[in-house]
Structure 1
């Protein structure tokens, strides 16, 4: 048999979940104009900055259209200027009765029509300038490029699907995960919905000892009734690029810390139909103590009542014990004089019922530990 000292101290309340990494922002780069691709300025997998040139479409047809519209607009503006001059002269002649009212109205109507034509020409010219600018395709965000779908010489279609490439922002990244409705209610009770909670991330593949932390940034506004879960997202700086979009990770959402929590190894607790209990070593005997089991915490379990901390709890061989059985301790005494504690709070114990009988043991107990 083995024993361990019951611990008392702070115990974080952590909700565990499975998560997946997704980019903080992702953009499918598309062309806004159609034309021949004349230049690819980047390679697949490059790191690009916002505003960096990615592709060049042949600008010559767009430049020719811009020149044509500029000439047309200049002609219409000259015609409008002449029509407005005629309107002013006709207004003076109409006062002296040299032109009819109908002629005057006609000159004003012609000037108004020409003004509308000039305005439309200016709009067309601005669109042509924009199209010419769009022949140079730039990165809308900073990030890492994916696969390039077209090569130099290919015909690019405006807003075609799929786009030319996809850019993913990898610094920071988001961790997408869900928690059950019960855990969500516990989160609301302990931390509310507006607190920036800490999130611990462990990759499922790779270095599982590396500590990666993020901050909870998103809580969905509804429970998914199909799964009974709530979607959450956390932002991770990802300065070393250790996390990659699509990667699966284990997530621990730390809600609060329970101060002065009593914890024992889970194998120390024996569960029966009448409740749960543990065996502690007291005055050389095994003493059975009823406990109220709280939440699990990894390999430990929190006790809501029954122990106060510092006891030596038996974590192995409880199936050979009964309440009051003598326990023969072996090994060094723990600090503070508690027998049965060895290295790391563990010690060896040998025990049995008086007279060598264990017929009084609770046969309905769930066996925890293995007899040595």
Structure 2
């Protein structure tokens, strides 16, 4: 029987080609090797990144005993202590405006002058009318004296009539004096002066205009800003504490800027409103500030702090010591053997940086300030200071063992990756040549110049 070798050879060649292609695809899909030459396979960097050190690095603090001021915080609005709209009280032309916008004035300073000539004429008429009535009174008194001198020759009716006429002229003179005084008062109103000390706002009327006593806008507005008032609100639950503090004496109130970083002024509580706002559940209060220098301005929003009391000899810890769990608040207490104990505590008051503890801690004990989330009861700790725990290069303040080989191995791996890829490329090319397939072109062919 004659064997046909041509199909057999063809099958063998095809099988070799399929095997070479399969091997090439497998090499391409396989993840690149990251180990260094001569280094056993394992995780990159040669260390187990999940292994934790049994000693946890934490920051520690000491339970203190100190006097702590208790502040109530609120939001307030600055309000002028007094506000006066300067208006004309007589009609007339505004002859002179002496005020300047934004000027600080004192009570009695000249602000404006109104034309006084019509009132001066009225004053002259009133004075002349008084002189006329005085002359008539003098004549009536002489007539009365003559009638009284006639005795039985003058009738009683004539004497009584003359005496009534004298009384009438006396009353007329008193009316003339009142008219003169009224005109003088009106004449004084032609000179407009500041009723109180303060700062003048924008001027509403210019010189040369006719002003009237019925005008609503007025000439200008004066606001008293030294002292100045601050209106603010507090929750109604703090009312009793405020009233108790007010019964002990003056209550200190501080005004801060909106960010609460800069102190603007310090004053005293002046008024507690007599009504609680049922809609918001707050009570309004008013404080008086000296405002020297002038850092507070009417209409300004400020943060307000009211000192309700000072808690003497309170047990305090940093606010970060207090932790909260399903069973309530607790803290990690450091024992002498550098292990921690999870101890339940009762917090009376907690602010931004400090907490007052009523039960659970004793002054002088050491507690964990930072790093609690890695702790369990009985954990071994290592105390670090805040500067060392700022994660410097190569340090592991989080309690995890520092993987010192990983940062050093990473650059070497990156440098060796091109060589490894070149080595794998050569292996694949050699495999394809052994299987009888043509190598993939990797550069310009020999005998051919690049363009």
TM-score interval, smaller chain: 0.7 to 0.9
CA RMSD of superposed structures (Å):
2.5
Change (3 A) 1:202 1:319: same
Tell me what 2:98 maps to.
41
Please give the per-residue CA displacement for 1:87-143, whole angstroms capped at 9, x wherever unaligned: 2332333x31x2322222221222222222111111110010111111000011111
Q: TM-score, normalised by structure 1?
A: 0.83
Whether the aligned pair in 1 keeps the contact of 2:59 and 2:383 (CA below 8 Å) is: no
Change (3 A) 1:345 1:28: farther
Distance in 2 (alpha carbons) for counterparts of 1:72 and 1:329 = 105
Matched, 1:85 2:129: no
Distance in 2 (alpha carbons) for counterparts of 1:10 and 1:345 = 30
Tell me what 1:195 maps to.
249
Distance in 2 (alpha carbons) for counterparts of 1:68 and 1:61 = 11
Tell me what 2:87 maps to.
30
Determine helix, strand or coil for the equivalent of 1:20.
strand
Whether the aligned pair in 1 keeps the contact of 2:95 and 2:114 (CA below 8 Å) is: yes
Tell me what 2:424 maps to.
none
Whether the aligned pair in 1 keeps the contact of 2:321 and 2:370 (CA below 8 Å) is: yes
Higher helix share: 2
Tell me what 1:146 maps to.
201
Whether the aligned pair in 2 keeps the contact of 1:327 and 1:350 (CA below 8 Å) is: no
Change (3 A) 1:345 1:210: farther
Please give the per-residue CA displacement for 1:57-110, whole angstroms capped at 9, x wherever unaligned: 0011011110111001111111112212222332333x31x2322222221222
Whether the aligned pair in 1 keeps the contact of 2:103 and 2:199 (CA below 8 Å) is: yes
Tell me what 1:224 maps to.
277
Matched, 1:263 2:332: no
Change (3 A) 1:227 1:235: same
Distance in 1 (alpha carbons) for counterparts of 2:232 and 2:345 = 34
Tell me what 2:341 maps to.
287
Determine helix, strand or coil for the equivalent of 1:220.
strand
Candidates 84, 106, 110, aligned match of 2:161: 106
Distance in 1 (alpha carbons) for counterparts of 2:246 and 2:199 = 36
Distance in 2 (alpha carbons) for counterparts of 1:101 and 1:131 = 46
Matched, 1:7 2:60: no
How much does 1:194 deviate?
5.8
Distance in 1 (alpha carbons) for counterparts of 2:235 and 2:140 = 75
Distance in 2 (alpha carbons) for counterparts of 1:327 and 1:54 = 79
Determine helix, strand or coil for the equivalent of 1:78.
helix
Candidates 86, 107, 115, aligned match of 1:50: 107
Q: TM-score, normalised by structure 2?
A: 0.69
Whether the aligned pair in 2 keeps the contact of 1:18 and 1:250 (CA below 8 Å) is: yes
Tell me what 2:219 maps to.
164
Tell me what 1:337 maps to.
none
Which stretch shows the higher mean deviation, 267-276 or 161-170? 267-276
Change (3 A) 1:10 1:275: same
Higher Cα radius of gyration: 2
Whether the aligned pair in 1 keeps the contact of 2:264 and 2:295 (CA below 8 Å) is: no
Counterpart mapping for 1:171-190 below 5 A:
171-189=226-244
Determine helix, strand or coil for the equivalent of 1:169.
strand
Whether the aligned pair in 2 keeps the contact of 1:176 and 1:231 (CA below 8 Å) is: yes
Tell me what 2:294 maps to.
241
Determine helix, strand or coil for the equivalent of 1:216.
strand
Please give the per-residue CA displacement for 1:195-250, whole angstroms capped at 9, x wherever unaligned: 11222211227x93346311222223343344333322222222221111111111
Please give the per-residue CA displacement for 1:29-81, whole angstroms capped at 9, x wherever unaligned: 11111111110012111111211110100011011110111001111111112
5+ unaligned residues in a row in structure 2: which ranges?
1-57, 392-396, 401-451
Tell me what 1:124 maps to.
179
Distance in 1 (alpha carbons) for counterparts of 2:289 and 2:212 = 37
Tell me what 1:359 maps to.
none
Change (3 A) 1:37 1:287: same
Distance in 2 (alpha carbons) for counterparts of 1:288 and 1:25 = 58
Distance in 2 (alpha carbons) for counterparts of 1:226 and 1:342 = 47
Tell me what 2:118 maps to.
61
5+ unaligned residues in a row in structure 1: which ranges?
332-340, 352-372
Determine helix, strand or coil for the equivalent of 2:225.
coil
How much does 1:287 deviate?
0.5
Distance in 2 (alpha carbons) for counterparts of 1:50 and 1:344 = 63
Determine helix, strand or coil for the equivalent of 1:90.
helix
Distance in 2 (alpha carbons) for counterparts of 1:15 and 1:251 = 8
Whether the aligned pair in 2 keeps the contact of 1:197 and 1:255 (CA below 8 Å) is: yes
Which stretch shows the higher mean deviation, 218-227 or 174-183? 218-227
